[in-house]
Chain A
Amino acid sequence: MSYAIEVHNLTKIYPSSGLEEGFLAVDQINFTVKQGEIFGFLGPNGAGKSTTQRMLTTLLTPTEGQIQVLGHDLAQDSYPAKRQIGLVPEESNIYTELTAWDNLMFTGRLYLMSKTDRTARAEELLKDFGLWDKKDVKAENFSKGMKRRLSIAMAIIHKPALLFLDEPTPGLDVQSARTIRTLIRQLSAEGTTVFMSTHQIEEANQLCDRVAIINHGKIAAIDTPEKLKQTFQQVQSVEIAFTLSAEGLEEKLTTLPEVSTVLKIGDKWRLYTDSPPDLLPYLMKFSEKENLDIVSLNTLAPSLEDVFLQITGQQVGSVSEESSQQKADIRRKKGKQ
């Protein structure tokens, strides 16, 4: 068995939502997750990430399609799969009335661990996660980061072969988010397969072996972060900063040859172009003509963010609008729209 997850034509239509035909949240998706990899499920709000993950963890019944988790068909017998998966849901849903220790003991017993196993493992996890001195404190007094760590500890107390994380770091400060990413890397190094939903591109870029970009319930692209970036060479850019800003600078920059979009980023301008080498001479001439001194000039390869924006059909530099009404036939081809 080489795949941790195999998904075939998976579809979810929510019956409610006031629409007669229901709401199509996940539309005929196919993908596989290899054993041992960190797989990122990346998409904007409402794309269908949680819906997919809830189907993979048996919380939601698919409308159509097959799911194999660790070689077990969920529709036939989910029990063996359930024993081997761990789940960190969207919110840090721990029992705030219980202490950190009791939360772990409860989960350990739920996963049928023996007393020696679960106490040893709980001690190990609390120490690893920096919660050992808080073990007898009720979780209601925990910070967001601590709750998140406890939630992850609860999900892995039984050493699952496959861990699901829905948005591991939202609302956490940089420090806590880093701690959590380090934990995820460690788990992966120990052999756990990780399926992670996120809308944070940089997180996916840093953590994931492969990324699926999901938009409007469809998978738009699946590949390694680097390969995804290569596919989108046309979204390269040149970043330039001048000593002072001039009237109408943005418009003038936009009219330069080879420039597709201009974006102001802090004190810099980012000019998107198919070909930075061709653009540079024009830029030089422009700054001379306008009497602008250049402070810095960089050419940038496409970031995963650029790829993401391109795929999800949001114009680079435009304010994206969250679509409230999805249509099944919205199809955006890779790389063009």
Chain B
Amino acid sequence: MKNFWTRIVDELSQAWIVTLKDIKVYYLRPGMIMFGFLMPFFMFFSFSVRREMAAGEGMSRLLALTIFFTAAAAGPFIIPTERRLGTYDRLLAAPMSLLTLLLGKIAVGAFFAIVVSSLAAIVGFLFLGASIAQPALMIGGIIIGSFTFSTMGLIFGSIPTRNPGDVQMPSTLIRWVLLFVSGVFVPLAEMSTVARGISYLSPLTYAQDLMNHAVLGTGELALWLNLSVLFLSGILFLLPSIKLHKRGRVLGY
């Protein structure tokens, strides 16, 4: 039993080391800044310019966008880059479990999203003059959402390839689809029944509704539902990544 716990502590520390290393190496890369930092702000402004929108509404939308895009930007960029450079082999050969490695990589995207979302929150608070109904829920929501969407991004990073370009296309496409069917640009309450039914398929819908709860104090869906869907999909998103990594080991990547 003691061995078991030492091993867990070891593995957690290894995950953390991988995360720290990636933060040092990748956070300031143009690819990360472009897809992780500029993109959500750009999307927010291009879709919000024409519309009259209350400050709180704008802020909760910006938060959902930054969590979603920023968190999912790291995985598809970092792992294929490391596979191409051959540095990924170092991590795969190190004495740690695949889950530990994945956890480390998930945290990279999640922390990036937490930082960028905090910036978004400050922008909303200072410049849009929004007030926040439940600050603790906002912080908790940012954290859980960031981890969920980072895990989603990791699926694309796990596709066996040495070329980040191969992964960027499908990952961007799917993220846009998930964005447009979600309740980010058209609030759930204004959607037709069919559109609303489809929007439930996008995890972003729940993140947006969660942010509405946190910032505006009200949402269309139950708070517990938002939280559990995000949490569970975060866990489920791990499965394809594990499978794809095993496949990569058979194919030789």
Asked if A pairs with B, the answer is yes
Residue ranges of A at the interface with B (Cβ–Cβ < 8 Å) = 14-16, 51, 54, 57-61, 79, 82-83, 85, 87, 89-91, 93-95, 97-98, 102, 106-107, 109-112, 154
How far is B25's CA from A94's CA once the two chains are assembled, in angstroms? Answer: 12
Establish whether residues A61 and B249, one from each chain, have CB atoms under 8 Å apart when the complex forms.
yes
A60-B252, A90-B86 are known contacts. Are A79 and B95 too (CB-CB below 8 A)?
Answer: yes
Q: Could you name 6 residue pairs across A and B whose Cβ atoms are closer than 8 Å?
A: A51-B252, A59-B89, A60-B249, A98-B24, A110-B90, A112-B13
Which one of A14, A87, A94, A110 contacts B251 once the chains associate, using CB atoms below 8 Å? A14
Looking across the interface, which residue of chain A has its beta carbon closest to that of B87? Answer: A93
A82-B95, A110-B96 are known contacts. Are A15 and B90 too (CB-CB below 8 A)?
Answer: no
How far is B24's CA from A40's CA once the two chains are assembled, in angstroms? Answer: 37
A-chain residues with CB within 8 Å of residue B249 when the two chains form the complex: 59-61
- Closest chain-B Cβ to A74's Cβ sits at a distance in Å of 12
- Closest chain-B Cβ to A51's Cβ sits at a distance in Å of 7
Q: Is B14 an interface residue (CB 8 A)?
A: yes
A58-B92, A110-B17 are known contacts. Are A102 and B250 too (CB-CB below 8 A)?
Answer: no
A14-B252, A57-B93 are known contacts. Are A95 and B25 too (CB-CB below 8 A)?
Answer: yes
A-chain residues with CB within 8 Å of residue B220 when the two chains form the complex: none
Looking across the interface, which residue of chain A has its beta carbon closest to that of B25? Answer: A97
A-chain residues with CB within 8 Å of residue B54 when the two chains form the complex: none
B-chain residues with CB within 8 Å of residue A89 when the two chains form the complex: 86, 89-90
Which one of B17, B18, B97, B251 contacts A15 once the chains associate, using CB atoms below 8 Å? B251
Looking across the interface, which residue of chain B has its beta carbon closest to that of A90? Answer: B86
7 smallest beta-carbon distances between A and B, as pairs = A93-B86, A82-B95, A83-B95, A91-B86, A97-B25, A109-B17, A93-B87
How far is B82's CA from A95's CA once the two chains are assembled, in angstroms? Answer: 9
- Closest chain-A Cβ to B68's Cβ sits at a distance in Å of 27
Considering residues B10, B18, B85, which has the most beta carbons from chain A within 10 angstroms of its beta carbon? B85
How far is B43's CA from A58's CA once the two chains are assembled, in angstroms? Answer: 43
Looking across the interface, which residue of chain A has its beta carbon closest to that of B21? Answer: A106
- Closest chain-A Cβ to B79's Cβ sits at a distance in Å of 14
How far is B28's CA from A215's CA once the two chains are assembled, in angstroms? Answer: 45
A14-B251, A54-B252, A106-B17 are known contacts. Are A93 and B95 too (CB-CB below 8 A)?
Answer: no
How far is B94's CA from A59's CA once the two chains are assembled, in angstroms? Answer: 10
How far is B252's CA from A307's CA once the two chains are assembled, in angstroms? Answer: 31
Looking across the interface, which residue of chain B has its beta carbon closest to that of A96? Answer: B85
Establish whether residues A87 and B17, one from each chain, have CB atoms under 8 Å apart when the complex forms.
no
Looking across the interface, which residue of chain B has its beta carbon closest to that of A78? Answer: B95
A-chain residues with CB within 8 Å of residue B21 when the two chains form the complex: 95, 98, 106
* Per-position binary interface string of chain B over residues 97-112, scored 1 when its CB falls under 8 Å from any chain A CB and 0 otherwise: 1000000000000000
A16-B251, A51-B252, A106-B21 are known contacts. Are A59 and B90 too (CB-CB below 8 A)?
Answer: no
Which one of A15, A58, A94, A109 contacts B93 once the chains associate, using CB atoms below 8 Å? A58
Looking across the interface, which residue of chain A has its beta carbon closest to that of B16? Answer: A109
B-chain residues with CB within 8 Å of residue A15 when the two chains form the complex: 250-251
Looking across the interface, which residue of chain A has its beta carbon closest to that of B9? Answer: A112
Other A-B pairs beyond A79-B97, A87-B90, 8, CB < 8 Å? A14-B251, A60-B252, A82-B94, A87-B93, A98-B25, A110-B90, A110-B94, A112-B10
Establish whether residues A87 and B89, one from each chain, have CB atoms under 8 Å apart when the complex forms.
yes
- Closest chain-B Cβ to A92's Cβ sits at a distance in Å of 8
A14-B252, A102-B24, A112-B10 are known contacts. Are A59 and B86 too (CB-CB below 8 A)?
Answer: no
Establish whether residues B14 and A94, one from each chain, have CB atoms under 8 Å apart when the complex forms.
no
A-chain residues with CB within 8 Å of residue B18 when the two chains form the complex: 110
How far is B97's CA from A111's CA once the two chains are assembled, in angstroms? Answer: 13
How far is B89's CA from A85's CA once the two chains are assembled, in angstroms? Answer: 13
Establish whether residues B93 and A61, one from each chain, have CB atoms under 8 Å apart when the complex forms.
no
